Amino acid sequence: MSRTGVTLPSHGLWNVCNREELEIIDNAAYKILNDVGVFMDDADLLKNAEKMGFSVDYGKKVVTAIPEYIVRENVRKAPRNFLLAGRDPEWDLIFEGPGRKQFWAPECGATDRLDWDEKKKTYVRSRVGSKDTLYAAKIVDGIDDFDFNLYLFDAAEEGHLGLPSELNKMNAMLQGTTKWAGHLCTTVSDIKEHDYVAKLGAEVAGGAEELRKRPLFWTVYNYIGTLQLNRFNSWLLRAAIKHHFPIMPAVTAGAPLMGPAMAAGNTALSHAGVLFMIALQQYYDPGTAAVANNIVFTLDPFGGKGSMSAMGTLGSCAMNQLWHEFYGLPTAQYSGVGDGSFDEVAFTLNHSETLQQLMGTDMMFEQFSGGALDPRMIVVAAEIAHQGRHFMSNFDEIRPTAENLALDVIKEVGVMGEGWMTHKYNIDRLKRWGKTYSLDTRPMDTWLEEGAPSWVFDLCKEKLKELEKHEPKPLPKDTVARMNAIVKEGNEKLKVG
């Protein structure tokens, strides 16, 4: 029995487009696929596209004249009901159609770690490796408000040494969590590294066939530039098809610098890319799960970094509607702002997650800067998830049922209202009031007397110390030994430089 996810309300969520407007955007996406096409830096994938009936310019590596009916026919094969498996089935993410449940996790992939030096009053920055991936995985594993576990620290150290970083990273993730283990990303060693990761997954799942039935992770790729699938992402798609890994495609055409500067156009462009990727996957690996990433990416035109914008929010909401209403598939979404000051990160994370959850996005990624992460931010994300889940869990109380309206009790208590505090109706419902996860909610005077500790720097630090004690249920020793042997072999055979 799975314990994950918050049940989403059947109606009342935020929509930005009516059906007619969605149809126009959907049709525009097919027009883009037909007229503009997609760049793919991989001969095998280009051949695969040609076999599907698309027109391929091998010189330019561009697939064009992509007929709508072929895309639709194949996207339709993507399953509506599927699961992404936790190592412990209690943490399975069960999808029964789109917009039914909402799952939460923090997301980052930082290459550096920031630790506050109290004496020098400054941050110390250090490069991270798979030991840090493991550290963060264990912390996320111990936070009940997180339904799954996406790597927060990259195996950058291994990458810098020329070792297969994805293999080392996934080894840490699979050992460090009992939850679904998230993102398998691009590698520099063709799909050989993914073959090793598939072996790792099979060890944990109990065989390749079991891994197929209970996928412990998925592959994540995105178009860079407008509709440009580089060779790393192309290899990843081939690996996904070969090993039946679920996929989560995204388009990161960051408007207004790398994509159209209006929400409708950028949404159509993002939608086109995701449609194409899922069609290609489903043609060659029908029935394996695909989750559309509803991101409509925007960049700050003053600095070039990822940004929170009206366009990104509106576009993501429209994408969500498209995939839910027209294709019956769940969605995932990165929120937050990416690289920036912690103030900006915490604020935009909270703001964007609130909007995102109201769209009814199925998988919520609370995203931090991919550069450097202070682990205290995990606690920040946990607080936001905690509050968000609480809100969605209580959504049903606005439905004007007889019980929720409580007209008989209102009449009974009368105009002065003294009886409300101890009335059984309210007493029975006090459990609906949530408590914060890490915030200090005591009166201001108490807070001042105790030295006015800040949430991010003081309280989250204390909470983190507590969370660092969590140890996930370990894998059997012989399984770990075999996994480590796979990594050792991979490190030896795939090392570069």
Partner 1 sequence: MAEKDKILEKLAKAVVDRDEKAAMAAVKEAIDAKVDPVEAITKGLSAGIKQVGEQFGNGELPIPFVMLSGQVLGKASEELQKHVPKGQMPKPLATMVIGTVSGDIHNLGTSIVTAVFNAAGFRMYNLGVDQPVENFINKAEEVKADIIGASALMSNTLLQQKFLVDTLKERGLRDKYIYMVGGGAFPGEEWCNEIGADGYATDVSIALEKAKKLIEKK
Contact positions toward partner 1, by CB under 8 A?
41, 111-112, 125-127, 154, 156, 159-160, 162, 165-166, 186-188, 224-225, 228, 230-232, 254, 256-258, 299, 301-304, 339, 370-372, 496-497
Overall size of the chain counted in residues: 497
Which of 56, 299 has the CB closer to partner 1?
A: 299
DSSP assigned state of 325: I
Which CB sits closer to partner 1, 126 or 454? 126
Are 322 and 18 contacting, i.e. CB atoms less than 8 angstroms apart?
no
Q: Give the closest residue to 271 by CA, choosing from 213, 323, 208, 325.
A: 323
Q: Closest approach of Cβ 232 to partner 1, in Å?
A: 7
Q: Which is nearer to partner 1, 400 or 497 (CB)?
A: 497
To partner 1, the closest distance from the beta carbon of 107 in angstroms equals: 15
Distance, CA of 366 to CA of 381 (rounded, Å): 7
Q: Structure tokens of 349?
A: 């994370």
Q: Is 442 exposed, middle or buried (0-12, 13-18, 19+ CB in 10 A)?
A: exposed
Residue partners of 366: CB distance under 8 A and separation at least 6 = 104, 105, 106, 107, 335, 336, 349, 353, 381, 384, 385
Q: How far is the CB of 365 from partner 1 (least distance, A)?
A: 18
What's the closest the beta carbon of residue 132 comes to partner 1, in angstroms? 13
Nearer to partner 1, 293 or 320 (CB): 293
Q: How far is the CB of 466 from partner 1 (least distance, A)?
A: 29
Measured from the CB of residue 439, what is the shortest distance to partner 1 in angstroms? 30
Place of tokens 């990761």: 197
- Rank residues 186 and 320 by Cβ distance to partner 1 and give the closer one: 186
We find the least distance from the C-beta atom of residue 397 to partner 1, in angstroms, to be: 44
Query: Shortest CA distance to 107 belongs to which of 278, 318, 352, 311?
Result: 352
Closest by CA to 463, choosing from 404, 393, 345, 378, is 378
SS (H, E, C) 242-274: HHCCCEEEEECCCECCCCCCCHHHHHHHHHHHH
Q: Which is nearer to partner 1, 231 or 244 (CB)?
A: 231
**In the complex with partner 1, which residue's Cβ is closer, 43 or 427?**
43
Q: Which is nearer to partner 1, 157 or 362 (CB)?
A: 157
Give the Cα separation of 428 and 107 in Å (integer): 37
From CA 136, how far away is CA 379, in angstroms rounded? 11
For 361-408, strand residue ranges (E) read 363-368, 372-373
CB of 315 to partner 1, least distance (A): 19
Nearest distance from C-beta of residue 434 to partner 1, angstroms: 36
Between CA 336 and CA 1 the distance in angstroms is 32
Using the minimum distance from each CB to partner 1, give the nearer residue, 172 or 299.
299
